[in-house]
Structure 1
Amino acid sequence: MKPLTLFAAVAIAFSAPMALAQDGPSAQEKARQGMMRIMALNMGVLGGMAKGEVTYDAARAQKAADTLVAVSMIDQSNLWPEGTDNDSSMHTGALAAIWEKPDDFAKAWMAFGEAAKGLQAAAGNGREALGPAMGGAGKSCKGCHEMFRAKPK
């Protein structure tokens, strides 16, 4: 192999991973996915307690609910730039409906915030109080996911 050909082959081999790295999720996609993971983790803690699968702990339940309320207050405007939907990026399940129906998306996010406040109010009042509040929170999550999230492939 000629030195120039060898150099070109090595350069291509080492530049390919850098090109692929640029195709990763955007900072906004990573941030909102992290936010959703935090929500899922805390919903899981509360759901486990409500179902009796996890020992009820008032302090832990309150922290989980407080976290959900805090997440619900995050300004969403920077996390959902156009072009980060599942048709434009393979790293997200966000449907284009988010940008086509921004008022509906904002209402869905506000509904989650209200449901999180309901969890916050119920969290320290015993396992029995969590069930109805979890129902409202689950309904808000499901409603948003049905309208604005692609089904996992």
Structure 2
Amino acid sequence: MSARKTIAAFLIATSGLSAPAFAQGMDPMEAAVRARQSHMFLQQVFLMQIGAMVQGNAEYDADTAAAAAANLAAVSSVDPFLYFPEGTSTAEMEGTRALPAIWEDPEAFAEAWEAMDTAASDLSAVAGDGLSALQGAFGPVGMACGSCHRSYRQSD
């Protein structure tokens, strides 16, 4: 199966896109970019919920913190190469900030992604255990995000 068909099959199966969307001209590579941008948006939403508590801008709520951290961990565990196919970097497409470095050294990118997955899982394990625990586990998540973005995302 070609990379485009594999991507299309994944997106149809997991992102709510229907076969008619592709039949109507949605390019699978464009769909992959949209999927990863949606992924990053979801991570941002969960990080904002937790970050507001960590920074004292929202009252700590164990249930909300635990739910947001569990969602972040779930989203962070997705295999990124499902929607980071070759040919979708800033060098080949408009509308993306994914740098070619992702495909130049995919092992390093995978390690950076794994660091986020690990940090998010660690955060999820303690998010409902109090504000101090949440604060202590939040820093490594921010460090993992920032490290990956500095290396693999085009800056504004």
Same fold (TM > 0.5): yes
Displacement after TM superposition at 1:22 (Å):
6.8
| TM-score, length of structure 2 as denominator length | 0.80
Encode CA deviations 1:7-42: one digit per residue, 9 max, x unaligned: xxxxxxxxxxxxxx879x700000000000000110
Range with bigger deviation, 36-45 or 86-95: 86-95
Displacement after TM superposition at 1:77 (Å):
2.0
What residue in structure 1 maps to residue 46 of structure 2? 42
Q: Which runs of 4+ in 1 moved over 3 A?
A: none
**1:82 corresponds to which of 86, 107, 119:** 86
Measure the CA separation in 2 of the matches of 1:41 and 1:130: 16
What residue in structure 2 maps to residue 123 of structure 1? 127
What residue in structure 2 maps to residue 101 of structure 1? 105
Range with bigger deviation, 107-116 or 65-74: 65-74
Aligned amino acid, residue 56 of structure 1: Y
**2:55 corresponds to which of 51, 56, 59:** 51
Displacement after TM superposition at 1:73 (Å):
1.7
Aligned amino acid, residue 66 of structure 1: A
Higher gyration radius (CA): 1
What residue in structure 2 maps to residue 140 of structure 1? 144
Measure the CA separation in 1 of the matches of 2:58 and 2:39: 23
What residue in structure 2 maps to residue 64 of structure 1? 68
> Root-mean-square deviation (CA), in Å?
1.7
| TM-score, length of structure 1 as denominator length | 0.81
Encode CA deviations 1:68-121: one digit per residue, 9 max, x unaligned: 111122122220111111122121100000000100000001000110011112
Measure the CA separation in 2 of the matches of 1:151 and 1:59: 34
Q: Greater RCO between the two (CA within 8 Å, min separation 6)?
A: 1
**1:73 corresponds to which of 59, 74, 77:** 77
Measure the CA separation in 2 of the matches of 1:115 and 1:79: 21
Displacement after TM superposition at 1:44 (Å):
0.8
Measure the CA separation in 2 of the matches of 1:99 and 1:53: 39
Identical aligned residues as a percent: 40
SS in 1 for 2:102: helix
Range with bigger deviation, 32-41 or 126-135: 126-135
